[in-house]
Each structure stands twice: as C-alpha cells, then as structure tokens.
Amino acid sequence: MKISGQSIIGFHSASNAGPSFGATNPRTGESLSPDFFAAGTDEVNLAASLAHEAFAIYSLISGREKGKFLRAIAAKIEGAVDELVERAEQESALPKTRLQGETARTCGQLRLFAEVVEEGSWVMARIDRADAGRKPAPRPDLRSMLHPLGPVVVFGASNFPLAFSVAGGDTASALAAGNPVIVKGHPAHPGTSQLVGQLLRESVQDCGLPEGVFSLLLDSGTSVGVALVKHPLVKAVGFTGSHNAGRALMDLAAARPEPIPVFAEMSSTNPVFILPGALRQSGDDLATGTYASLTMGAGQFCTKPGLLFLPENGDAATFIDKLGKLVAESRQFNLLTSGIRSAYQSATARRQTEPGVKLLAARRAASDDQEFGVGAALFEADSQSFLRNPELAAEVFGPATLVVRHSTRAQVLELARKLGGHLTATIHGTEADLREFSDLLAILKTKVGRLVFNGFPTGVEVSHAMVHGGPYPSTSDGRSTSVGSGAIFRFCRPVCYQGFPEATLPDELRDSNPLGIWRMLDGEMTRKPTTG
C-alpha cells in the first residue's frame, strides 16, 4: 500500500491543497515521509454529507451484512499486519510485539461486534401486546428496539495507533450499531491511520456498501475536529485522550443548536489500595508487579496505577524501598510525542514543588538518552497533604506514580471518599483485610467502572462483561463503556412503535420473530414467536 498523505473521503482521496505536516519518529526525532495534508472545510462538509446519505441505507442493512463487513475489515488488517506494524513502530516507537498484539486486539474487537450483530439480540427488543380488556383503559400494542443515531465522529488516540484509532473500538462499535463513521486521524501516526483507512475503504467497496459509510480526515491540529463536532449532520462523538481535549469537545457538542452526545474517555489515575495483610504476605511481589504495571507502555496506558495508598508501617517501607529501587534503575522510556514528553516533564517538575510531596526515586537522564525519552518517577505524600490538594489526584501521563501513606482505617475511608471518578480501582488484600475494610469496596464502586482484586489495572480484556468507563472526569458519561460488546449501546437510541401493522415493523419486532433473537415479551425474556 502507498501512503499518499491525503485524507480519505468516501471512495476518493482529498486534494493536497491544505497545509502540510509530518510524522516524527519518537525514538530518534527523525522526520518521516511523506508529507501529509490537512483537510479543509470543503472536505469536512463532503465527508459529513456522504455519511448522512449513507446512513439512510446502512442503518437498515441486516446484522448478517454488518457482520460480513466487520469481518472483512479484520481480514484485510490481518493481511497487511507486517506493513501496519512497521509503520506504527516508526511513528510511535512502541515495540513491534506490542503493536502485533494491538493488531490482534483490533481484529478481535471487529469480530466480537460481528458476532453481536449477527446474533441480533443486542437491539433489546421489547413487546407489550395490546390488551383491549384492560381497565380503566385499553392498552395499545407497544414495541420498541434500539436504532442507530447517525454519522459518528471518532477521534484516534495517541497511545493506541491501532486498537483505539481508525479501526479501533469506537469505530467498530459505531459501525456495528449501523452508523457511518468519520475518523479524525491522530497527527502522531498519520501514516498508520491512512494505511488502515485504505483497508476500511476497500472493505466498504468489497461489501457493496454506500460510499459515505467511512471517511478519514487528517490534520495536525484541532480545526478539523472542531468542525466535525459542530457539523449539523454529525450525531455523536467517540474520543479517547486528555481531559482538556475531551472537555472541550463536550462543551462544543453541548453548545450546538442540536446538542449531541460525546463519549469521551479522558483522564484517570486508577487508585490502588494495598491493605495490611497483603502487604505483609506479598510486599516484594506487589512492588515488582506495581512497577511492571506502572511502566507498561511507558506509563501511557489510561489504566496506569497513578495512586498507591499504603498503611504507615514497616511493611510499607520495605515495599517502597523495593519499588523505588526498580524505578531508579529503570531504563529510559520513550513517550509518543514531544508534546506528551513536555507535559510529563512539566507535571513531574511541578509535583516536586507541591507542599507535602517528596520525590522518592527517579531514573536519572543518561548521556545517550534519545529524543522523546524520560525516566520513571516515584513520589510520596502524607494523607493530609493529599486531602488538602486536589491536584495530587490529577493524572500524570507517563511512568510516574504517587504513594499516599495513611495511619488509620478511618483515613483510608476518607481518602477513598475524596476520590473523583476513575476507570479502575484496585484492592490488594487477604480475606481478613476484606472483612476489616468491607466498607472500602462500597465506597470505591461509586467511584469507578471496574474494580480489580489482587491484580493490576493495566490490560483491558475485550469481552462482553468488560467495563472500560467510569464517573466523570474519567469519562463524559459513567453509564457507558468504550471496550467490550457493551460499547455498541453508546451509538443508538430506543424507538417505540405503537399500534403498527405487522408488515410495517422491523424484523426484530415482528410476531414471528424471524431472526430468532431474545426479546422481552410482556415482561418475560423469550425467543418464542408472538402468537397473539
């Protein structure tokens, strides 16, 4: 495949009329060819118009047809895996083994949603049959199911050039629900984005789908993204990135004449509570596991453990000594972009000036440190300093974490109550710890989307039960998930049909249940036909 540097609009490529920009190798600082060209207003309008036109057809195709399309995308990605991984490695400096795993995850997500739409019960069909004899008034025939929203804008994420980008989870779930997708490619990996975009375009063509089902728009800044979110034909947004950017998109969408939902996965420090029994029994292993989780992907995972809550005792001191030694002796970590590196350096420098905070360990810079390289850092604060300063709970994107020491059970609960919304919270404990701190779990389930016991938060399984979301500010809507089959529900809405003739109803709501899906019939779940 050839990387042309152009946006993909339906079945065509944009012109080279926009401002040019380039990609950079984070490991070396080398500029990568070719030049890329930013989309303009005309391209935004054309992509939105094509998506709007395609929605009239694509929203009505069968689950089997959508499944075929999603599987076609996965097959094409697998056929080009070597080329994709090579370019992604150049643009992200992520290890090839990580990118190969990310490619497999991308294809797995696509096939998971293919299974969901082929089976069909995800539409949550409900039927309340008419009851002419009901008193004091008859009940009409009522039938409802989920329908797609319309064109969805998806923003590629910097830290996952494949699994949360052009063909990632947001795109897969939006397409599965029946929505055309316009991707705003991330400027950190435009070449990877365009290669995947070409495969998506080919899949649309091979499956005989309307031209506007997919487009990819490129630029180096925010103008294209802003224009897409404000465009009147766009009906929803999927985003993974920083809190500042996600909040800006939320505000833009809310300020439209017709507000639209923004499903933004933003910032999270993913608190870890290590309870006394676990610390006493497994402190050394916990320190090693925490370090691995903290530095996985150079600390650029949204599930990185950025807060560690420890009791004030000798076992904690041993744990911190071990973790600090690992941090001080760690290798250099290459961050994804110069902007991320600058933000990390600023955040870690600022943290050292915060009252009550001290730097326990840091990897010192070496003479051969490379372009976007940084060292890991371990900070410590006492509980009162943490409670007084909300900034200490803010995410530091990169390989840094903060230890907060506490001396009483009441302090642990107070610290937990003061937490904002996060994607995950982790508890390491014994059975005795759980009995003693039973109310800690009750507090934490109000703060996060996923609770982890005796594990580590990094690594998100793509499955039916997974929840990758949480209360604000970790996401814009704590009722949703961006990973797992439940992600499809973000991009649809319920529609009720009252008193309609059988022949005019969607297959999902017809008496004969021709799709054989699970439906709620008069309050009970069944696959049986409606007999009267």
Pairwise CA distance, residues 472 & 200, whole Å? 32
Q: Which of 211, 265, 380, 508 is catalytic?
A: 265
Q: Let me know: does 214 contact 181? Beta carbons within 8 Å.
A: yes
Q: Which two tokens stand for residue 22?
A: 């380039």
DSSP per position, 149-199: -S-EEEEPPSS-TTTTSTTSHHHHHHHHHT--EEEE--TTSHHHHHHHHHH
* Cα dihedral 88, 92, 97, 103 in deg (nearest 10): -50
- Tell me, rounded to whole angstroms, the distance of Cα 379 from its chain centroid: 27
Pairwise CA distance, residues 416 & 273, whole Å? 9
Q: Is 302 a catalytic residue?
A: yes
| In the block, residue with structure tokens 């002419």 | 132
Residue 247 burial by Cβ neighbours in a 10 Å radius (0-12, 13-18, 19+):
middle
Element (H, E) at 209: none
Return the bridge partners of 12, or none: 9
User: Residue 273: which of 45, 111, 438, 497 has the closest Cα?
Assistant: 438
Return the bridge partners of 265, or none: 240, 475
Q: Is 78 a catalytic residue?
A: no
Q: Which two tokens stand for residue 525?
A: 């779940």
Q: Which of 91, 102, 211, 302 is catalytic?
A: 302
What are the catalytic residues?
265, 302
